[in-house]
Structures are given as structure tokens and as C-alpha cells.
A = this chain, B = another copy of it.
Amino acid sequence: MDPSSLNTAEVQRFLNQEKERAMMNEMVAKLTSVCWDKCITSTPGSKFSSGESACLSNCAQRYLDLTLIIMKRFQSMQ
């Protein structure tokens, strides 16, 4: 197989999109898991209680805040 066929801009673009999608999916899965553990501490009901809803909302935001903080810290170290 001619390896230069793997070097097109098109393949690169496709791979970058796939990487982006994979990272997003990973973040969604991680946040769901983390905030479930942190906020759903009793038997799940037929809907989220207002307390649980508030906790889940805060949890997601704080975790994303933290991700950004860590990322900036690493970038500033280079």
C-alpha cells in the first residue's frame, strides 16, 4: 500500500474531528460518572429532587472549571 495516500489533508481533517469527538464523549462520560457519585447519594427516584438537580448543576460546572485551571497551570509550566 502506498503510504502517501495516508497523508492527505482530508485524512488529517477527519482524524482531528474524530479526536475532538472522542475527547468530548470522554468528558461527557466522566462528568456523568463523577457527578452521579457526588450528588445521587440516596435511592434514585422517578425524577431528580431539587437538591440533586442543584448539586448536579454545580458539580458539572465546578469540574469543568477545575479542568480549565489544571490545563492553564500545565501550559504555564512549559
Contact = CB atoms under 8 A, between A and B. Distances in A.
Interface of A: 1-6, 8, 10, 12, 14-15, 18, 23-36, 38-40, 43-48, 55-56, 58-67, 69-71, 73-74, 77
A43 B25 contact: no
Nearest to A34: B36
Nearest to A55: B43
Given A44-B38, A62-B44, A74 B30 contact: no
Chain A contact residues, majority secondary structure:
helix
A69 B6 CA distance: 38
A27 B38 CA distance: 19
23 contacts: A3-B5, A5-B6, A8-B10, A23-B25, A24-B74, A28-B70, A32-B63, A32-B66, A35-B70, A36-B66, A38-B44, A39-B43, A39-B44, A40-B62, A43-B58, A44-B55, A44-B58, A44-B59, A44-B62, A46-B58, A56-B66, A60-B70, A64-B74
